[in-house]
Structure 1
Amino acid sequence: MKLAIMQPYFFPYIGYYQLIAAVDLFIVYDNIKYTKKGWINRNRMLQNGKDVVFSLPLKAASDFLHVDQRELSADFRRDKLLAQFEGAYRRAPFFKQVFPLLEEIINLDDPNLFSYLYNAISKTCAFLDIKTKLVKSSEVNIDHDLKAQEKVIALCQAVGADTYINAIGGTELYDRAEFRDQGIDLSFLKAKPFEYAQFDSDFVPWLSIIDVMMFNGSETLSTTVRQGYELV
């Protein structure tokens, strides 16, 4: 059984969904510390030919809280964020197909950050026809005080995974020999360059999955999600 594990992100890039599609079970970390300088509640979109950051405003809280303990700001204007997406992409070829998905996701009335992100990931997977089972890390019976590689191996063992696939950015974090000693094959997913027309602008790579969906139809999306990467 193939497993991947990631923390949640807000409309992450296509490589995140390639990773989900490449495995049988995808664990989303909910009981890990929120990192202020990370990309958990923000990402990049195309606006007037340039990449622009969009984000979810959060309620002020301790930096030591877990992702599932953080809340969206009471001042979060869902209509304003939707208007930002509409202004940027209303001329995109697949806007009419994608924008209802964004409305459904963004209008979710749930203040919990993790629940909000988990719903967005799940709904986007459904749109991309990804059937992989999603599980919250806190639902897996392990010692959650374990860190880094030890925690990943424990999660693999708890769910019966014999293959663990990680994003390419984790090559320096994990030791193949350590995984092999536990009967687990370790691979890394490297997304292939994927260029497409973005209005009349020079191509801006690795933007949010929103950008990819706005400019590509279902057949291209399906092929890229399932075949647009290599395992190394």
Structure 2
Amino acid sequence: MKLAIMQPYFFPYIGYYQLIAAVDKFVLYDDVNFIKNGWINRNRLILAGEVRYITIPLSGASSFLKINEIDVQVGDGWRRKLAENLRHSYSKAPYFTEVNALFQEVLFSNENRIGEIAKESLTSVCKYLGIETEFVHSSTMYGNSSLGGKERVLDICARENAHEYHNLPGGRELYHEEEFVRRGVELHFIQPHMEPYSQFSEKFQPGLSIVDVLMFNSREAAKKMIEPSTAR
């Protein structure tokens, strides 16, 4: 079993999906504290010719609340605005029709919690690309929220009988190989690779939301771009 654990992000960059594609099961860490100005409710696209944030407005967001406790702003005004911004900026992209439909399906879903909307943005892209990784929620599976940091990660690995734990490069500061090996788990880090592709920008802008990747690349090409590169 190859396992990864991450907070749910809203249509994140390609490296996040490379992590998903590298594992058998992906744990959505939705019962940890919300991080303001992070990637849970926002990401970046090229809008009106410039790299700008697309942001889901939240209601009562606080770093004292868990991700799965936070609601999005009531009403559809912000949803319509995000949809119109995407249409205005990407309507001439080669794969706009199908990707816009995917984006709107997530945006106008019946979900009102940011954690669930972010999850939908992940699973919908995986379905679109044929990535079959299994998703589970930390809030409903393990009953170990009293643990913290690497101890909780290692506990989840043990409960899932995971023999490999995969993470993005930022995890190098948090996790050490020896601690995982002692528990019978190999620690791996995904090195994100962001190949240039045609955009509505004179200079290639790496690390934008996966939506930008999908707008300019076929499903087959995008899936190939997501094939992970693993480094120890």
Scaled to the shorter chain, the TM-score interval is over 0.9
Partner of 2:38: 38
Matched, 1:150 2:151: yes
Partner of 1:98: 99
> Structure 1 stretch 189-198 or stretch 141-150: which is displaced more?
141-150
- Displacement after TM superposition at 1:166 (Å): 0.4
> Structure 1 stretch 69-78 or stretch 25-34: which is displaced more?
69-78
**Aligned 8 A contact 2:40 2:115 in 1:** no
The 1:159/1:2 distance shift into structure 2, 3 A limit, reads: same
Letter in 2 for 1:99: N
Partner of 1:3: 3
Partner of 1:74: 74
Letter in 2 for 1:198: Q
Aligned-partner Cα distance in 2 for 1:49–1:194 = 21
> Structure 1 stretch 53-62 or stretch 160-169: which is displaced more?
53-62
CA RMSD between the two structures: 1.4
Partner of 1:123: 124
Aligned-partner Cα distance in 1 for 2:140–2:112 = 21
- Displacement after TM superposition at 1:139 (Å): 2.3
Partner of 1:141: 142
Aligned-partner Cα distance in 1 for 2:57–2:160 = 34
- Displacement after TM superposition at 1:201 (Å): 2.0
Unpaired runs of 5+ residues, structure 1, are none
- Displacement after TM superposition at 1:50 (Å): 2.2
**Aligned 8 A contact 2:14 2:194 in 1:** no
Letter in 2 for 1:3: L
Letter in 1 for 2:193: K
- Displacement after TM superposition at 1:142 (Å): 4.3
Matched, 1:132 2:116: no
Identity of aligned residues (%): 39
**Aligned 8 A contact 1:192 1:230 in 2:** no
Counting only pairs closer than 5 Å after superposition, residues 1-232 of structure 1 correspond to structure 2 as 1-77=1-77, 78-199=79-200, 201-227=202-228, 229-232=229-232
Aligned-partner Cα distance in 1 for 2:64–2:178 = 33
Secondary structure at the residue paired with 1:191?
Answer: coil
- Displacement after TM superposition at 1:75 (Å): 4.2
- Displacement after TM superposition at 1:200 (Å): 5.2
Letter in 2 for 1:90: S
Unpaired runs of 5+ residues, structure 2, are none
Aligned-partner Cα distance in 1 for 2:41–2:62 = 16
Aligned-partner Cα distance in 1 for 2:140–2:231 = 28
**Aligned 8 A contact 1:198 1:215 in 2:** yes
The Cα offsets for residues 27-69 of structure 1, whole Å up to 9 and x where unpaired, read as 0011111111211100000124321001000012443110111
The Cα offsets for residues 118-166 of structure 1, whole Å up to 9 and x where unpaired, read as 1221111101111000000122224211111111101100111010000
Aligned-partner Cα distance in 2 for 1:136–1:200 = 37
**Aligned 8 A contact 1:67 1:113 in 2:** yes
The Cα offsets for residues 65-104 of structure 1, whole Å up to 9 and x where unpaired, read as 1011100011452111100111111111111121111111
- Displacement after TM superposition at 1:231 (Å): 2.6
**Aligned 8 A contact 1:30 1:114 in 2:** yes
Give the structure-2-normalised TM-score: 0.95
The 1:62/1:14 distance shift into structure 2, 3 A limit, reads: closer
> Structure 1 stretch 147-156 or stretch 42-51: which is displaced more?
42-51
